[in-house]
Structure 1
Amino acid sequence: MTARAGFNPDESPLARLASRGGRGGGAFLDASETIAGERLRADFTRGQLMPGITQRWDSQPRQARGSAGSRDLSDSAIDARRRVDAAVVAVGPELSGVLLDVCCFLKGLEVVERERQWPARSAKLMLKAGLGVLARHYGIDAARQSGRPTIRRWGTADYRPTIGGGLEG
């Protein structure tokens, strides 16, 4: 994973999980799962969805989300919020909470397990399942990300190639 502006891979729980080995000797998270999680995090950040924790020194009261205060958001922030909403809906309520906690709020797996009163090491499995669904939602292919060749074809779903047919003039 390469570093880019505004992104510190050392603070990402996904980067740590992607570097750790799984049972078969390979990484616990494959490239598509890691990319999907970081894409969710990037949209969450662009959408300015992180709650404010600092003192506001202006005289304007803070407005509720979705009210007139959303006029101040740029179009790219609004689009990022829509992408986060679509991703959360695609993943479903069962897995979206752990994805948001780990990918966006940068909580550790132990913290998620303690807050949700889950058994040890269960958040790791739930996260992997959620990232797999998220990668499918984003259309990120694990084979393409790993450098393995994939078979691609162009055509409609009912397209059937002919065998033995050449160019006839």
Structure 2
Amino acid sequence: MSEAGRAWLSRERHARAARAAPDDPAAVSGYRAQHMSLSRREVRLAGEAAQVAVNDSESPLGWLSRRKGRDGRALIDAAQFLAGERLRAEFTRAQMTPRMTSNWAAPTASGRAGAGRGIDVSEAIVAARQNVRQALTAVGPELSGLLVDVCCFLHGLEDVERARGWPPRSAKVVLQLALDRLARHYGLSEAASGKSRVPVRAWLAADATFTSELG
């Protein structure tokens, strides 16, 4: 089989998985999955096991969930990991890519999602955008920018620290607080709480506007 044929089969396999579980935060498009190193991992949340797909080649959260601190525990727990992956999935569905002006790009997709699906593609994008907005609002402006950088744009913690002028290893602490709030918003951890005690620069520029055409 040719290289093009193998690529097509890979896209189709992942596309079928996404169609079978459209609400799965780990579901990704066939084209994106073709260029990922996907693996299935089991995490435990509230005493129950859950299977999630992780892109080992790019996910900072995947790396943090595998690394252990001095106390022998993972740097982020299952609830934090799942919350971050859910935000990334919603962000991807929402097609929320920032323009050079720091404004959010409006949805560009249109048409039907497929026979029998009963939902317009643009409506699904709007719904995903609303979910992202609600999540970031719940986290708060001091922490939401870091979540977007790490969970959605997949920036590494060291890159974030350099860009923001933070001390080494400080991004991990702030990210843990942000993921706690996000997990609480999603109902993934009843005990998730915490307030930021670290000065955090907002993700958007001070003079930027936040716009979205939600119809």
Per the normalisation by structure 1, the TM-score is 0.69
1:33 aligns with 2:62: no
Q: Is the 8 A contact 1:14 1:103 kept in 2?
A: yes
Looking at CA atoms only, which structure, 1 or 2, has the larger radius of gyration? 1
Q: Is the 8 A contact 2:99 2:105 kept in 1?
A: no
| 3-state SS of paired residue (2:57) | helix
Other-structure match for 1:56: none
Other-structure match for 1:162: none
Consecutive unaligned residues in structure 1, runs of 5 or more = 54-63, 144-169
- What is the identity, as a one-letter code, of the residue corresponding to 2:169? R
**Which among 145, 163, 167 is matched to residue 119 of structure 1?**
167
1:99 aligns with 2:147: yes
- Larger strand percent: 2
Per the normalisation by structure 2, the TM-score is 0.55
1:10: Cα distance to partner? 2.8
Other-structure match for 2:134: 86
1:71: Cα distance to partner? 7.4
1:12 aligns with 2:23: no
Q: Is the 8 A contact 2:161 2:170 kept in 1?
A: yes
1:65: Cα distance to partner? 3.6
Pick closer, same or farther for the CA change 1:74–1:125 going to 2, 3 Å: same
Rounded Cα–Cα distance in structure 2 between residues aligned with 1:50 and 1:65: 6
Pick closer, same or farther for the CA change 1:141–1:40 going to 2, 3 Å: same
Pick closer, same or farther for the CA change 1:71–1:28 going to 2, 3 Å: closer
Q: CA RMSD in A?
A: 2.4
Rounded Cα–Cα distance in structure 1 between residues aligned with 2:62 and 2:55: 10
Identity level (%): 52
Consecutive unaligned residues in structure 2, runs of 5 or more = 1-40, 42-50, 111-120, 192-215
**Which among 22, 30, 46 is matched to residue 93 of structure 2?**
46
| 3-state SS of paired residue (2:173) | helix
Runs (4+) off by over 6 Å: none
Give the total of aligned pairs.
Answer: 129
Q: Is the 8 A contact 1:31 1:142 kept in 2?
A: no
